[in-house]
Structure 1
Amino acid sequence: MNPRIQRAVALLDIGRPEAALELLVEVLAAEPDNVDATAYAASAALRMKRYPRAAEFARATLRVSPDHQFALRVLALAANELGNHAEAETAARRAVTLGPDTAVNHLAAAVVLREISSDQALAAIDQAIMLDPNSSAAHQVRGSILLRRRRLGRLLPGPASESFRTALRLDPENAEAAHNLALHQLHSHHWLRATRGFLRAGAMDPGLADLVRHNVGVVLRMALVTLQFLAFAVSFALLVFGTATPASNDVGGTDVVTPAGRMIGMAGVLGVLAVFAWVYRALPRGQRRVVWSVLRSRTASLVQVALLLAMAVLIGVAVATGSALPAALALLLGVFAGIVQWWIRAYAARARR
C-alpha cells in the first residue's frame, strides 16, 4: 500500500479524518483510480459528515471495483443520510450478499433498514451481534431500533436501555449510545438522568453539541410544564378546600384562607422550591452552567419560569395575608400558562412542516 495511504489510515484511526482526507486527495491527484485511496477518502468524508462527498468517493471506488464491500458499506450509510434510501438499501444488501459472515455488513444493513422496516433491521442487527457480540456499535444500533419501535407504539422484543448499557460497557466513550440512553430515559420521564446523559454525551463528542442542547431544552420544557401543572393544582386545591366565606369567619370582604388552606399552599410552594434545590444539587457544577445556558437561550422556557415563579409568589402571598384573591390569580395564571404552552407547541409543529 502507498505509504501516504498508510499514513492516512493511521490518521483515521486516531480520529483525524480531515487530515486523512487531505492526504488522500493528494494521492488521488496523482492516481485517480487508486481503489484504496478512494475507499478511505469515502470513509474520511463519512466521518466528517460530508455525505455527498462520501457517496461520490464510494461510487468512484465501485466503478473500479464493483464488489468492494467497504465502499458498499460507506455508500449505504452516506446515501441513507442523504435520503436516497433505495440506493442505500441496494448497496447494503449487496455488501451482505458478498460478505454474509462479516458483522459490519449486517450492521450497515441494519442502519439502513431501520428507516424502512424495523423487523428487518432487528434481524440484521441480531445477525451482526451474533457474528461479533463485542461490537459496541452493534448494540447501540440495536437499542436505537428498539427505541424507534417504542416511539411508534410497537411491542419490544427487548429493552432498548439494556442494549445501550451493553454498548457503553463495551465502549464507555460511545457518545451515540450515551445520547440514545438519555433519550430512552427522557421518554421514560426520568428527566434528571436524561439531562445528565445528554450532557455526558456532549462532553464525549462535541459534534453532538447542537443536538444535546436541543434535548436538554426539551427536558426543561417538560419539567417546567409539570411544575406549572402542580402549581395550578395547588392553587385549585387551596381555593376549593382551603378557603371560607366571610360569613363563616366574621370577616368582611373577599374569601379568606383557612389553616388547612395555608398548609396546602405552604406545602405546594415548598415542594416547588425543593424540586429546584434538589435538581440544582444533583447536577455537577459544570453541567449546571450548560443547563443555565440552554435555559437563557430559550425564550419560551424563560417565560415558563417567569409564570411558574409568579404562581408560586401569588400562592405564598395568599398564605401570608390570608386573602384568597392571590390564589385565584395564581389559578388564572396557570390557565394562561397552559394557553401559552399550547401556542408554543402549535407554533413549533407548524415550523417543522
Structure 2
Amino acid sequence: MDSRIEKARVLASLGRLVAAQEMLGEVLAGEPEDVVALADMANVVLRLRDYPRAVEYSAAALRGEPENTFAWRVRALAELGMARDVELGPEAVLEHRGRATAAAERAVKIDPENTDNLRILASTKRDKDPRGALKTLETALELDPDDVGVHLLRGFILRRNLKGANNTEQAELAFREALRLDPENAEALYELALIDLERGNRTAGQEQLRRVALLDPEYGPAVRDHLDWLAAEQDRLAQAAQAAETRRLANRYTAEPQPKFILEASGKSGSGRAYRWGIGVLVLIMIRMIAAGLSDDSSTPSYTPPPVPTWVRTPPATYYNPLPFPSLPPEFRRDWPTNLPRVTVRTEPPVAPPQPQLTVPPGVNPFP
C-alpha cells in the first residue's frame, strides 16, 4: 500500500479532510484503479458531505473489489445522505433509501459478525423501521458490548425515532454508557445536555454544552445557538414572573377590604360628642338653607312671633336676641343661593298693658 494513503488516513483522523483529499488525489493520479485509495477517497468526500462523489468513488472501488465491505458501508451512507436532501422529490428519496439499505445488507451478508456493518444497516433502517433497527443493534451489542458507535446510535433511535418517557430514559442510559466507554465523546455529551435542558435542569445542560464546544469545535455553532436561546428564555421567564407578581399584588389589593376611617365617639369622650353634634347641626343648617333657596322670596311669608301672654312672666330682653349665624369661610358660601328668606325678629320685649289702680279712701284700712 502506498505510504501516502497512510498519511491521508492520519490527516483525516485529525480532521484535515481537504489535505487528505489532496493526498489521495495524488495517489489516484498515478494509480486510478487503486481500490484502497478509491475507498478512502470515498470516505473523505463522504465526511465532506459531497455525497454524489462519494457514491462515484465507492462504486469505482467496488468494481475493483466487489467484496470490499468498507466500500459497501461508504456506499450505503452516501446513498442515505442523498436521500435526506430536501430538494429531492418523494420518489427520488425512496430510491436512494432503497439503495442505501441494499448496500448495507450486502455488507452484512459478506461479514455478518462485523459490528460496523450491523451499525450501518441500522442507520439505513432507523427512519422507516426504528424497532427493526434496534433489533439489529442488539445483535451488534451481543457481538461487541463495548462498541461506542452502537450505543450512540441506539440512543439516537430511542430519543429521536421513538417517542416516550421510557424511551428517553433508555436513551439516556445508552448515552451514559457511551460516555463511560469514551469520556470525551462529544456526541454523547451533547445529547445528554439536551436531555437535561428538556427536563429543566438548565445549569447542568449549559455546563455540558460548553464542554461539548471545547471537545469538538464542529459543535460550536449549535452550542452557541442553544446558549443564546437559553439566555433569551431566561430573560423572558424573569419578565413573565415579574409581571405575574405585579398582577398578584394588584389583585390582592383590590380583593382585600380597605380600612375605613370612622370616627367613633366614646360615651366618655366629650370632644367626640361635641364633634358629632357640630357636624349634625351644620348639616341641618345647610339643608334648611338649600331648601329655602329653592322657594320664591315673594311667596315666602315673613315670620312674626306671637305676643307673649300677660300671665307669663316677662323674660329678660336678651332672650329675644337671635343666635348668631355660624360664620363660614367665603369659599363655603360662594355658591349658596342669595334669595334666602329674611326673618323678622323682635328685639324689644312687649309693653305690658296698664294695670288698674285701686283707690283707698283716707282713713280706711283695706286689710281689716
Could you say which TM-score interval applies, normalised by the shorter chain?
0.5 to 0.7
CA distance in 2, matches of 1:227, 1:103: 49
Q: CA RMSD in A?
A: 2.5
Task: Map Cα deviations across residues 103-146 of structure 1 (whole Å, 9 max, x no partner).
Answer: 01111122222222210221122222222222222211111111
More helix as a share of residues: 1
| 1:219 maps to 2:260 | no
Spell out the pairing of 1:45-124 with structure 2 (5 A cutoff).
45-82=45-82, 83=84, 84-124=96-136
Aligned to 2:352: none
Contact 1:136 1:174 in 2 (8 A): no
The answer to whether structure 1 residue 191 and structure 2 residue 202 are counterparts is: yes
Moved more, 219-228 or 234-243: 219-228
Identity of aligned residues (%): 37
Contact preservation (8 Å) 1:35, 1:65? yes
Instruction: Say whether the 8 Å CA contact 2:193–2:206 is kept in structure 1.
Output: yes
Match of 1:208 among 210, 219, 231: 219
The structural deviation recorded for 1:155 is 5.2
Aligned residue type for 2:8: A
How many Å separate the matches in 2 of 1:115 and 1:9? 31
Q: In 2, Cα distance between the equivalents of 1:27 and 1:123? A: 41
Q: Which residue of 1 aligns with 2:29?
A: 29
Aligned pairs for 1:249-328 (under 5 A) are none
Deviation at 1:230, TM superposition (A): 2.6
> Equivalent residue for 2:154?
142
Change (3 A) 1:22 1:116: same
1:172 to 1:248, Cα distance in 2 relative to 1, 3 A: same
> How far apart, in 1, do the equivalents of 2:3 and 2:103 lie?
29
What are the equivalent positions in structure 2 for 1:126-205 lying under 5 Å apart? 126-149=138-161, 152-153=163-164, 156=167, 159-205=170-216
2:4 aligns to what?
4
**Partner amino acid for 1:137?**
G
Question: Is the 2:79–2:100 Cα contact (8 Å) retained in structure 1?
Answer: yes
Change (3 A) 1:235 1:59: farther
In the TM superposition, what whole-angstrom CA distance separates every residue of 1:157-199 from its partner, at most 9, and x where no partner exists? 9521111111111112211111111122222222222222222
Distance 2:255 2:21 in 1: 76
Find the counterpart in structure 2 of residue 231 from structure 1: 242
Distance 1:217 1:112 in 2: 34
Contact 2:104 2:121 in 1 (8 A): yes
Unaligned runs of 5+ in 1: 251-353
Give the counterpart letter for 1:181 in structure 2: L
Contact 1:142-1:163 at 8 Å conserved across structures: yes
Bigger CA drift: 208-217 or 131-140? 208-217
Q: Are positions 1:20 and 2:31 aligned together?
A: no
Please say if residues 110 and 124 of structure 1, whose CA atoms lie closer than 8 Å, have aligned partners that are also in contact.
yes
SS of the residue 2:70 aligns to: helix
Distance 1:147 1:221, change over 3 A: farther
Cα drift, residue 33 of structure 1: 1.3
Cα distance in 2 for residues equivalent to 1:203 and 1:218: 19
Distance 1:160 1:12 in 2: 30
How far apart in 1 are the matches of 2:159 and 2:213?
Answer: 20
- Give the secondary structure class of the aligned counterpart of 2:259: helix
Larger mean CA deviation between 41-50 and 237-246 belongs to 237-246
Contact 2:126 / 2:161 at 8 angstroms: preserved in 1?
no
Given the superposition, is the C-alpha separation of residues 51 and 183 from structure 1 closer, same or farther in structure 2, using an over 3 Å criterion? Answer: farther
Q: Is the 8 A contact 1:149 1:156 kept in 2?
A: no
What is the count of residue pairs matched by the alignment?
A: 249
Q: Measure the CA separation in 1 of the matches of 2:166 and 2:104.
A: 26
CA contact (8 A) 1:8 1:24 kept: yes
Q: Work out the CA distance in 2 between the residues paired with 1:104 and 1:38.
A: 19
Q: Which has the higher contact order (CA 8 A, sep 6+)?
A: 1
Q: Highest Rg: 1 or 2?
A: 2
Normalised TM-score (structure 1) = 0.64
Check whether the contact 1:147–1:184 (CA below 8 A) recurs between aligned residues: no
Letter in 1 for 2:34: N
Change (3 A) 1:16 1:88: same
